[in-house]
Amino acid sequence: MIAVEQLYKRFGKNEVLKGIDLKVDQPGVYAILGPNGSGKTTLIKAILGMVIPNKGEITVNGNNVSKSPVYRQDIGYLPQIANFPANLTVKEIIRMIQDLRNSTPDTGQLIEWFGLQPFLDKKLNTLSGGTRQKVNLVLTLMFDSPLIILDEPTSGLDPVALLKLKRLIRHEREAGKTILITSHIMSFVEEMADEIIFLLEGRIHFRGSVHALKEKTHTHDFEKAIAKTLTLNDSYV
Ligand SMILES: Nc1ncnc2c1ncn2[C@@H]1O[C@H](COP(=O)(O)OP(=O)(O)OP(=O)(O)O)[C@@H](O)[C@H]1O
């Protein structure tokens, strides 16, 4: 589904990605991890065609992302910071995104799932951060896309909403979807991820299951395993 070959990206002198090779060809939940500034969002944006690489090739479902944007129809993307026009109501923003995609899926179930009915006629700039995140999740998931990319999806969510998000992600995984997630909440990653893709110093430093990472680092504590990964010299791709 996703193939990244020898991807390089720098911003000025800052070499962020230094030869990423990544193949994701099975459905499941993939957590892209790494310290702040390690290039997780840059990698995601390159897959989405929002960042132009200096070198390398990316294909999504066989389509080269630099050639045509059509492949994006198959992706649901939750940005880390969503910048929608703040004076629109929830209903209006849902309608606007549907018009842009030329598709009008039924959003009733998702709206009910996140308890957003009372907010439909409220403007986005009057909503709390967590409620806005729930709206963003509806916007991301409403098209039933086979590839879902979630950049920090837990941001601002209360415990009940977090539980609901986790159930939704599991449901999407069971439906055979491929879900890429970045998160700094390690308990969330440990619970949800089938595979971890750990970026460090511009490269994939580790790829494998949570269990495999714990084994490699000789610890049962996932947070400690992540911390230990940072100090390992060899990469475990
Ligand atoms: N448009 C840009 N212009 C210049 N530098 C950028 C740009 N986008 C990202 N960077 C730089 O690239 C590096 C990687 O940023 P990126 O947002 O991909 O990291 P990240 O791993 O997602 O970080 P975080 O965990 O903090 O979200 C950072 O040093 C950042 O400052």
**Nearest by Cα to 217 from 204, 199, 203, 231:** 231
**Nearest by Cα to 65 from 80, 52, 76, 78:** 52
The predicted pLDDT at position 232 comes to: 67
The protein residue whose alpha carbon is closest to atom 18 in ligand 1 is 39
Taking only the tens place, the pLDDT of each residue in 143-159 is 999 999 999 999 999 99
Residue ranges per domain, the chain?
Answer: 2-231
Testing ligand 1's pocket by substitution, the residue of 9, 20, 40, 50 carrying the most ligand atoms inside 8 A of its CB is: 40
According to DSSP H, which parts of the chain are helical? 40-47, 90-101, 108-113, 129-141, 159-174, 186-192, 210-217, 222-231
- Cα distance from N-terminal residue to C-terminal residue, the chain: 19
* Residue 93 pLDDT exceeds 80: yes
CATH tag for 2-231 (out of 3.40.50.300, 3.60.9.10, 3.40.50.1480, 3.40.50.1820)? 3.40.50.300
Confidence of residue 82 (pLDDT cuts 50, 70, 90): confident
**Pairwise pLDDT comparison (83 vs 108), residue with the higher score:** 108
The predicted pLDDT at position 85 comes to: 86
| Cα–Cα distance for residue pair 107/219, rounded to 1 Å | 43
The number of beta carbons lying within 10 Å of the beta carbon of residue 148 is 25
Ligand 1 site, residue 155, Cβ cutoff 6 A = no
The predicted pLDDT at position 237 comes to: 54
* Residue 233 pLDDT exceeds 70: no
pTM passes above 0.80: yes
Q: Which ligand 1 atom lies nearest to the CA of residue 43?
A: 18
Query: Phi first, then psi: what are they for 201, rounded to 5°?
Result: 50, 45
